[in-house]
Amino acid sequence: MSNKRIAFQTFGCKLNFAETSTIARQMKEEGYEVVGHKEEAEVYVINSCVVTGNAEKKCKAAIRQAKRRNPDAKVAVIGCFSQMGEEELSKMDEVDLIVGNEEKFMLKDYLKNEIYTGACHSYVGDINKSDVFIPSWSSGDRTRSFLKIQDGCDYFCTYCTIPFARGRSRSASIADTILTAKEVASAGMREIILTGVNIGDFGKQHEESFFDLIKALDKVEGIDRIRISSIEPELLNEEMIMLMASSEKFLPHFHIPLQSGSDKILDLMKRKYKREVFAQRISEVKKHMPHACVAADVIIGFPGETEEDFQDTYDFIEGLDISYMHVFTYSERPGTKAASLSGKVINKEKRERSRILHKLSEQKKTAFYREHIGSTRLVLFESDNLGGYMHGFTGNYLKVKTLFREKFINKIVSVQLDEPGDDGNFLYTPK
């Protein structure tokens, strides 16, 4: 098995990136050389995504590009597209191996067997019956790691395929999660980002909770910074916020999905809160951490969203003390309840609504950055050298760049934030 090259290409969420990184480490232990996905390799692995139709198209394009790069290579498609689109993938001549979400962690065994030679082989089980949780963490940057603490979702929002692709909500125990976090810290990572499909749902199998987890992680030695990725507004509470505000490890950065500022649309989406719950969470965060970064996810163009509903969303968000938004255009997914809803929004209108919310997001972000001019923050610098510059983030997710200095990699540096540059980011010039 020596000297065989394997390349990974990952689409979708940070959870996918954490899992790809874990599988890549497994393959290294098997004697593979991991190379970039644009290099020639004997095996190409596409970790796929189906959250939008565009994500599927990108995965298919990557599959074809891999086979063109080396026609003799084996192409393995793993993850959510494999789980949801096994039949569709099996019809692609370029695909040699289809591996589902639970089975992907056994990829090394499927490749070792090499029984798939000459035909497309599929290993996709019933994810809905899975109660197995496989911990994962990313190691690409060597400064920050996305730590998978939870998988699956029990919510079944009407627009979303994730529960069908990843199964029911499940997680490890707190004790096992802490062991994995210590493993990440021992690899030299200064920051851990808690990642999952619905991390606030952590612990149900073990009669534990997400609050129990963050209390335990706050006491673990060797972890410098902990960031939470995305948490549902009804699963975040003031007690958690107060703990994070008093912690030296947890960072003042929240990513809270809103999806719509119209209660009518939230109901059609089968979200578990009204917009006032979201507003209350923002108020609680800002009360205890006035300098916190708060990001929101918003979907525009959902079936039934009238101009009045969109204006409700705009007005609601405009009045919120948030830092920026991730704006998503609704993408109809087969098999979801939303696909059968009436009141489809035409593409031209979707594009215009997206443009309007992106502009509002930029205004919010600019205002958030300007609020911090003249303040001093701790920045963890990362390892990428982009045009002679490196960058890092403050605890409250302000981006800072400086001329590349190897000695700054994985270092936490006290930085005074001066006027943002033309790119919107702060520039740090050491005295």
Mean pLDDT, to the nearest integer, of 248-276? 98
* Percent of the chain clearing pLDDT 70 (strictly above): 98
Mean pLDDT, to the nearest integer, of 158-174? 96
Distance (Å, whole) CA 385 – CA 324? 26
pLDDT of amino acid 271:
98
Residue 114: pLDDT band with limits 50, 70, 90: low
Q: What is the pTM of this model?
A: 0.93
Q: Does position 2 have pLDDT exceeding 60, yes or no?
A: no
Which residue, chain included where needed, has tokens 């979707």? 350
Mean pLDDT, to the nearest integer, of 5-18? 95
Residue 115: pLDDT band with limits 50, 70, 90: low
Q: Does position 180 have pLDDT exceeding 60, yes or no?
A: yes
pLDDT of amino acid 431:
78
pLDDT of amino acid 117:
58
Coil/strand/helix, residue 86: helix
Average pLDDT, the chain: 95
> What are residue 148's DSSP bridge partners?
136, 195
**Using only C-alpha atoms, what is the Rg of the chain?**
22
Backbone angles phi, psi at 22, to 5 degrees: -65, -45
Residue 1: pLDDT band with limits 50, 70, 90: very low
* Percent of the chain clearing pLDDT 90 (strictly above): 92
DSSP code per residue over 377-412: EEEEE-S--BTTEEEEEETT--EEEEE--GGGTT-E
DSSP code per residue over 197-262: SSGGGTTGGGT--HHHHHHHHTT-TT--EEEE----TTT--HHHHHHHHH-SSB-SEEEEEEE-S-
pLDDT of amino acid 113:
72
Query: Do the bridges between strand 426-427 and strand 5-10 make them parallel or antiparallel, or are there none, so unpaired?
Result: unpaired
Distance (Å, whole) CA 16 – CA 55? 13
Mean pLDDT, to the nearest integer, of 366-371? 97
Q: Does position 116 have pLDDT exceeding 90, yes or no?
A: no
Distance (Å, whole) CA 374 – CA 185? 32
pLDDT of amino acid 118:
65
Nearest-5° Cα angle at 178, 239 to 395? 55
